[in-house]
């Protein structure tokens, strides 16, 4: 029924996006559990029509919302309500695509299935780290599918993960307001930064939760309830505080800039010094994820896509303005 579909679209939230290994397709997952595959190459080409901005295929992936997605070189892994499923990129455009496998990490509680908020690939170990509602980080070996480790430490559910390549260490940020660093080899917590305890960046009226993390080996930027802050990891000190009032939900390093997005329409571009370089408005009232297509195989599809509290994915071909929007 048209009214019902219109209402669904109005209330859609796109939680996660991911680019295919060939760089030509973008997958987006929404709160109804659907995944849509858009063809970036078609939408960016010179003969793009209105239909190119619609998904090539949309399928029901999960029963609950699809909170996060990552891609290996052949698979798309999506996670939402308690389990992670894998799809073959080569098959995903065909109708009636079925998942390749699905796994559920061993949960303690059985009353409510905890969600999986973040997925992280560790290429050196060929494993996947899942973190979410049950406050643990689970590691799953991609070859065998077994869950090798469970890292405890957070007191409230985990929002985001980041990988520190050199060590290798995993950073996790959670609802309890702490950013914890874990060493994968010893499976132990190495460092804890409780952001809300630092007066410069804490914002009690927003809460203490850490919504987003990004790391560049020595440096880490995190945001959420507290202000968006750049940290020096070894000394655990906040070096730059970005003056953004709205809580940020996604942050990433890009070249010499920091891109962040969250409550509010705009994608913010920050200099490392803390100055706001640009604020580019998008079409959704709030943004939840940013995705940079840096796949070497498709240089013509090098775009920044942003999605959040609407059924639209904004495509920025040039960081200065929004070129167009793909929509579910």
* Binder among 112, 218, 275, 300 for another protein (CB under 8 A): 112
With respect to another protein, which residue has the nearer C-beta, 106 or 204?
204
* Binder among 145, 285, 299, 320 for another protein (CB under 8 A): 285
CB of 13 vs another protein, minimal distance in Å: 7
* Binder among 3, 50, 96, 235 for another protein (CB under 8 A): 3
Q: For residues 32-61, which are near another protein according to CB under 8 A?
A: none
CB of 60 vs another protein, minimal distance in Å: 15
* Binder among 6, 90, 190, 297 for another protein (CB under 8 A): 6
Q: Answer yes or no whether residue 115 interacts with another protein by CB under 8 A.
A: yes
CB of 45 vs another protein, minimal distance in Å: 28
Rounded Cα distance between 76 and 74, Å, is: 7
With respect to another protein, which residue has the nearer C-beta, 44 or 313?
313
Q: Which residues of 215-237 are buried (b: 16+ CB within 10 A; e: fewer)?
A: bbeebbbbbbbbbbbbbebeeee
Work out the number of other CB atoms within 10 angstroms of the CB of residue 167. 14
Starting from the edge strand earliest in sequence, which strands make up the sheet with 14-19, in order?
14-19, 25-30, 34-39, 57-60
What CA dihedral angle connects 147, 153, 154 and 157, to 10 degrees? 20
* Binder among 286, 292, 294, 317 for another protein (CB under 8 A): 286
Q: Answer yes or no whether residue 90 interacts with another protein by CB under 8 A.
A: no
Rounded Cα distance between 98 and 141, Å, is: 21
SS3 (DSSP) at 202: coil
Rounded Cα distance between 82 and 245, Å, is: 32
């Amino acid at each position: 029924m048209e009214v019902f579909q219109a209402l669904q679209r109005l209330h859609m939230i796109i939680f996660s996006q991911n680019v295919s290994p060939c760089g030509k397709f973008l997958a987006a997952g929404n709160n109804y559990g659907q995944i849509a595959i858009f063809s970036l190459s078609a939408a960016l080409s010179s003969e793009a029509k209105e239909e190119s901005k619609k998904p090539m295929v949309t399928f029901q992936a999960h029963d609950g919302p699809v909170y996060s997605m990552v891609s290996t070189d052949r698979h798309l892994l999506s996670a939402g309500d308690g389990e992670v499923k894998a799809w073959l990129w080569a098959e995903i455009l065909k109708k009636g695509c079925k998942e390749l496998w699905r796994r559920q990490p061993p949960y303690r509680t059985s009353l409510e299935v905890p969600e999986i908020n973040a997925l992280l690939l560790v290429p050196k170990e060929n494993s996947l780290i899942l973190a979410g509602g049950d406050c643990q980080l689970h590691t799953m070996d991609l070859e065998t599918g077994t869950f090798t480790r469970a890292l405890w430490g957070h007191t409230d559910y985990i929002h985001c993960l980041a990988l520190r390549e050199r060590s290798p260490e995993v950073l996790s940020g959670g609802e309890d307001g702490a950013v914890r660093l874990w060493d994968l080899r010893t499976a132990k917590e190495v460092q804890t930064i409780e952001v809300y305890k630092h007066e410069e960046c804490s914002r009690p009226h927003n809460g203490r939760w850490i919504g987003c993390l990004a790391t560049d080996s020595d440096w880490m930027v995190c945001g959420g309830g507290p202000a968006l802050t750049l940290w020096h990891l070894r000394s655990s000190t906040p070096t730059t505080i970005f003056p953004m009032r709205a809580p940020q939900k996604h942050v990433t390093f890009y070249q010499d800039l920091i891109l962040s997005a969250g409550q509010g329409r705009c994608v913010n571009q920050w200099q490392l010094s803390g100055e706001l370089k640009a604020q580019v408005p998008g079409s959704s009232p709030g943004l939840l994820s940013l995705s940079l297509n840096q796949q070497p195989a498709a240089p013509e599809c090098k775009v920044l896509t942003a999605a959040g509290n609407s059924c639209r994915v904004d495509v920025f071909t040039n960081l200065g303005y929004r070129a167009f929007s793909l929509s579910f």
